[in-house]
Structures are given as structure tokens and as C-alpha cells.
Structure 1
Amino acid sequence: MTPHTDPHTDPQTDLHADAVRVLASWQAPDAGQDALRRDFLRHLEEHADGTWRECVPGHITASTLVVDATGTRVLLTLHSKIKAWLQLGGHCEPGDRSLASAALREATEESGISGLELSPGPVQLDRHAVRCHPGGSWHLDVQYVAYAPDDARHVISDESDDLRWFPADGLPTPTDDALRRLVDRSRGLDSLA
């Protein structure tokens, strides 16, 4: 007999429900982002495990663009596997009760900066192919912005080949269009401070 799991304390249920709530209420900035939002919701409807890495067709991930207190610089990682400059983030983990907590955890772990202030909701969505499973899979990335405190000092994690601040209007190469769009969207936000 399978033990009964209380849905109020099951991290998988909590995170899945939060992802549905966040995506259902998010006001997409344009038609393309709204189409992705609906696709992500469809994925979650079809996959009870859609927030976990083990979900083969694809899975929700959470990432964060860390911006300095002035809003003029962004902290990027030279990803050790992808070999491109990207925002911080990754897979949801069992202790994550929400997409926001996953995004903040990833940003804090990968930057070494405590006291990050996360945007109240996602800023952008991105779907990209990855090799999490034989034959390939998709990351359905829910992207946030976080502001670093004035005195923030970053520390390179094991997941990075490098970690540096760059001017928001002077991004390094190689990077991708999704990061450039995320940086552009972050510049239109009011500071959280």
C-alpha cells in the first residue's frame, strides 16, 4: 500500500500548484510571451511532475538576472557546460515551495550574494532545448530579476567558469537573444529598493 501524502505538505504538489498560479496570473508583456505562458500551463496540466528535472519532454526551471543596486550592471555567469554568459538559475529542487523561492535560491547559490531582492513576479519566459535526458528535453524557464545590495560581493560557484558584472548596455559574447531580451526588460522595471 502506498503511504498517504498530505497535499498540503508535499513539495511536488506545492511547487506545481504555485507554478500554475504564477503563470495563470502573470500578465505577459506581448503576444509571444503570452503564447509561451499558455504552453507552459498546458505542460503543467499534462505533467504532474512538470516542475522536476525527471520530466522527460521538458520541465519548469527558474532563473534570475541579478542587477546591481544602481540598475546599470548585471551579474552573469560563464556557464561551465554551455560556455556562454547567462543569467543565474537552474532546476527546481524538493525544498522549493515556489518558483520565486527556486529562483532566489539559485541566484543566491550561484552568486554567493545574500540579501538579493527578487522581483514580485516573472519578467520573461523562455523555452530552450537542453540535454537533460537522452534524446533531449526542454527547459521551460520562468525568469525573474533580483537587485543586489549596495555592498554585494560575488563568489564564483562550482557551476561557473567565471562570474562578472557587466554594463547592461555592454553584454559580453557569447550569450543568447533570450538574455539580451531579459536585460532589456529589466531596464524597464522600477527598482525594488
Structure 2
Amino acid sequence: MTSLHTDAVRALTDWQPDEDGQQELRRDYLAHLAAHPDGLWRACLPGHITASALVVDPAEGRVLLTLHPKVGRWLQMGGHCEPGDGTLAAAALREAVEESGIAGLELLAVDGRTAPVKLDRHHVRCLGKDKPENIHLDVQYVAVAPAGARELISEESLDLRWFGWEQLPADTDHSVRDLVTRARALV
């Protein structure tokens, strides 16, 4: 097992959500990691752990979303873990910086430590549109943008846009709306 695997188990074990649905997902994620030493890598099928971060600007009351090229919807920044990621939180932060182009992002500390804010299990076609769906077991964090942050679109995004807490795009799915609500309550 890798140090990333060990960290993921620790992060999910230490995190104690106060909702039954999130507790159930946490148990499922831990069972997945116990059964799959490769459970953080894209090659682990039919599912694998991913890491994401919602970029927020609390001073301006807004969130940065990416128009995802494969999904065609506005989502938080995130993606697959990579061998160089030392922790699950580091993977989420790396993805947020890469996809937003914003240097100086910091993951939000919850109760004095960096911890997930939410878990979300969803089906995707990350191996290609003509390949079978697989399952992303997403561990979601919140990344706080520095004052005056300016985004820069990467090749991983069709568009990047700031939205007010209450002005999310009409077709934003429930999972992203829930993540925004949780982030807003924490900042």
C-alpha cells in the first residue's frame, strides 16, 4: 500500500460527518480501500477514489466552477489522484490549482485541521464516451481563494466562471448545490 492509501484511510476514519447518508458513504469508501490496495487509481474498476475542491471567495460571496468538457456541466475542480500526491487533501488542492489557475489556494481547515466537507458517489465515463461507466468515490474539500484571485482557464475546462452563492447556473446538479451550501456555512 502507498502512503496516499494510508492517508486516505486515515482522513476518512478521522472525519466524522453528522449525517447518516454521509456516514454510510464514508463506510463504503473505507470498505473500498480495504478491499482495493489500488483503490485510489483510475485503473481500479469499476470504481476509484477521486479528490475535488470547491474554490470559494468568501469576501466576495462567490464560488468558482468549471464547465467540465466531458460532463458538460458546471462542477467544482477535481479529478484523479496521481502518484506524486502525498495526501488526499494534496490531490484535491493540486486539482484545484491546476484547473483554476489560481496560485495561493488554501484548503479550508475544519475544527483546526484539513478535512473533507462532503463525499459524493457518481457514475462517469472517465475512460472515454465509448467505454463503460465507472464509479467515482469523490472526497470533496473547500479551497479558499486569496483576495483578488484571478482564474485562468486550463485545457481541462471549457470555461471557468465565478457565481454568487445564490446565483448558480440553473442546470447545476444537486450534489454541487449541496457542496456550495456546506461551504458557505463553513466560511
SS of the aligned residue for 1:160 comes to coil
Unaligned segments of structure 2, at least 5 residues: 109-113
- Letter of the 2:50 partner, please give it: T
SS of the aligned residue for 1:115 comes to coil
TM-score by length of 2: 0.92
- Change in Cα spacing, 1:71 to 1:21, as seen in structure 2 (3 Å) is farther
Partner residue in 2 for 1:125: 119
Number of residue pairs matched?
Answer: 179
1:163 maps onto 2:160 in alignment? yes
Whole-Å separation in 1 of the counterparts to 2:75 and 2:125: 17
What displacement does 1:81 show? 0.9
Whole-Å separation in 2 of the counterparts to 1:69 and 1:131: 33
Unaligned segments of structure 1, at least 5 residues: 1-11
- Change in Cα spacing, 1:71 to 1:47, as seen in structure 2 (3 Å) is farther
What displacement does 1:173 show? 3.1
Partner residue in 2 for 1:5: none
- Letter of the 2:117 partner, please give it: V
SS of the aligned residue for 2:32 comes to helix
Please identify runs of 4+ aligned residues in structure 1 that moved more than 3 A.
Answer: none
Whole-Å separation in 1 of the counterparts to 2:181 and 2:133: 29
Give the fraction of aligned pairs with identical amino acids, expressed as a percent. 63
Whole-Å separation in 1 of the counterparts to 2:117 and 2:154: 25
Partner residue in 1 for 2:111: none
Whole-Å separation in 2 of the counterparts to 1:153 and 1:57: 37
TM-score by length of 1: 0.90
Which has the larger Rg? 1
- Letter of the 2:36 partner, please give it: H
What displacement does 1:73 show? 0.1
Within the candidate set 79, 82, 100, 1:90 is matched to 79
1:43-62: CA deviation from partner (whole Å, max 9, x where unpaired): 00000000000001200000
SS of the aligned residue for 2:63 comes to strand
What displacement does 1:83 show? 0.6
